[in-house]
Amino acid sequence: MTEPHVAVWDNCLKIFKDNVNIQSYKTWFEPIRPIKLEGSVLTIEVPSQFFYEWLEEHYVTLLRKTIERELGKDARLEYSIVVENSSGFKSPYTINIPTFGNTPSKNPDVSVPINIGNSIKNPFVIPGLKKINIDPQLNPNYNFESFVEGDCNRLARSAGFAVANKPGGTSFNPLVIYGGVGLGKTHLAQAIGNQAKQNFNNKTVLYVSSEKFTNQFIDALKNNSINDFVHFYQLIDLLIIDDIQFFANKEKTQDIFFHIFNHLHQSGKQLVLTSDRPPKDLEGIEERLLSRFKWGLSADLQVPDFETRIAILEKKMHADGIELPRDVVEFVSYNIDTNIRELEGALISLLAQSSLNKKEIDLEIAKKIIKNFVKSISREVSIDFIQKMVCEHFHVPIEKVKEKTRKRAIVQARQLSMFLAKSYTKNSLKLIGKHFGGRDHSTVIHSCQAIQNLLDTDEEFRDSVDELKKKIQMSSIS
């Protein structure tokens, strides 16, 4: 039989799952362990102090409501925080911090005096010896201010920000940022370094590409100075390694990195890694390294949506003191949806052309230039066109999406058509509703939400929609 605290927690998990997105659920709720239930006091174990603070800051209301629903008005939640000692082993004792229930305030005093008294002095640091000055190799332009936030990068950005404010002190260690080319991995990784440097001037921060790390290692091998190489890296408080996929099949480099990683991690130092694919898909990387990458958090960067692309272009223009008409910005953002580097490339071609021709850029010129830039320009797609594509893709008769049928397959095709019409056309919600048998705008909003939920949770559906999107884009190129 399931023990009561487990059963209660299982019920809570179902509610959490319905109320937060899947990525947040995995990050913040799955790692929690129910420990015991005494009366109406439920004790849960969380991996770290930071984890606890994050839950309290972001999910206190959800937690409270859910627990009260399960255990009644007197419900209380107690946290038990696993303390990791500096050798990385989980210590058996935990700290109980009572939270809501007896503390009516939203955020109970999170700075409860916790004296864990287990900080072991690092025997390698000689007291009084000044730290050597290491150039962090950071580009100051890659900072958080210039990094535009959007749905495409929210988790990675906020985790990165948390890490910069508490290097080594969060559960995001290592923080692995992954995503396709030109989506902002280097920018974000450097922003973390810059921010950490700004917050903690005395911390040693180092940004290095995996190629540079490999080359330094090979030089060290040649010069018989491996010890110096390793000692140097062991001095770093925040080590950022960019594009770790290039470590693939370099066994010796992986080996040395493994030792450095362990040393840093065990001494509570922070690692930030970037990769062009999720750690689980990295080939040619040793299992023991891969398993370590999973100790922290892997967060992805996706292709930004239309609005975020506009915001990025505007930020770039602002930084460079350039102004472009709004319709030009929209046109460029609409047509260049591959990655941010291309978006910037398009902006640069526009500026180059206009200064060459000594002409202000208007939509007309922009169209010409961008046409050469991407070679193919997508026409504005119509709602009818989207309906046709969706219905073909899902084998649903097109007239049905305009009727009131409540059959599941048809409802889904209808909702997806509305969703795509919202993302691909500039029609108002009202007009979109009209195309589906005169439905109102709130139905369209509801449909978009339903589809977004499905996309967030159902991989198969997401793949199918991605395929459909490609078809729509291909067929709409003139």
Determine whether 25 is exposed, middle or buried from the number of CB atoms within 10 Å of its CB (0-12, 13-18, 19+): middle
216 conformational bin, left if phi > 0, alpha if psi -120 to 50, beta if neither: alpha
Site string for ligand ADP, 94-133 (x = CB under 6 A): ----------------------------------------
Quick one: what does residue 58 bind among Mg ion, ligand ADP, none, with the CB cut-off 5 to 8 Å set by partner type?
Answer: none
Q: In degrees, to the nearest 5, what angle opens at C-alpha 264 toward C-alphas 79 and 262?
A: 90
User: At 352, which helix (H) or strand (E)?
Assistant: helix 340-357
Q: Which residues contact 160 (CB under 8 A, 6 or more apart)?
A: 144, 175, 177, 188, 189, 191, 192, 272, 299
Strand order in the sheet with 90-98: 33-38, 41-46, 76-84, 90-98
339 binds Mg ion (CB under 5 A): no
Site string for ligand ADP, 289-318 (x = CB under 6 A): -----------------------x--x---
User: Across the strands, what pairs with 175?
Assistant: 272, 297
207 binds ligand ADP (CB under 6 A): no
User: Across the strands, what pairs with 90?
Assistant: 84
In the complex, least distance from residue 304 CB atom to ligand ADP, rounded to whole angstroms: 7
Of 103 and 141, nearer to ligand ADP (C-beta) is: 141
Quick one: what does residue 344 bind among Mg ion, ligand ADP, none, with the CB cut-off 5 to 8 Å set by partner type?
Answer: ligand ADP
In the complex, least distance from residue 164 CB atom to ligand ADP, rounded to whole angstroms: 15
Segment contacting ligand ADP (CB under 6 A): 93-101, 178-186, 251-259, 380-388?
Answer: 178-186
Q: Which residues contact 437 (CB under 8 A, 6 or more apart)?
A: 402, 403, 404
**Which position among 212, 341, 379, 426 is part of the footprint of ligand ADP (CB under 6 A)?**
341
Could you tell me the end-to-end alpha-carbon distance of the chain, in angstroms, rounded to an integer?
Answer: 64
In the complex, least distance from residue 15 CB atom to Mg ion, rounded to whole angstroms: 39
Distance in angstroms (rounded) separating the CA atoms of residues 254 and 212: 13
Of 185 and 197, nearer to Mg ion (C-beta) is: 185
In the complex, least distance from residue 379 CB atom to Mg ion, rounded to whole angstroms: 33
Of 183 and 336, nearer to Mg ion (C-beta) is: 183
Residues engaged in binding ligand ADP (CB under 6 A): 146-148, 153, 179, 181-187, 312, 315, 340-341, 344
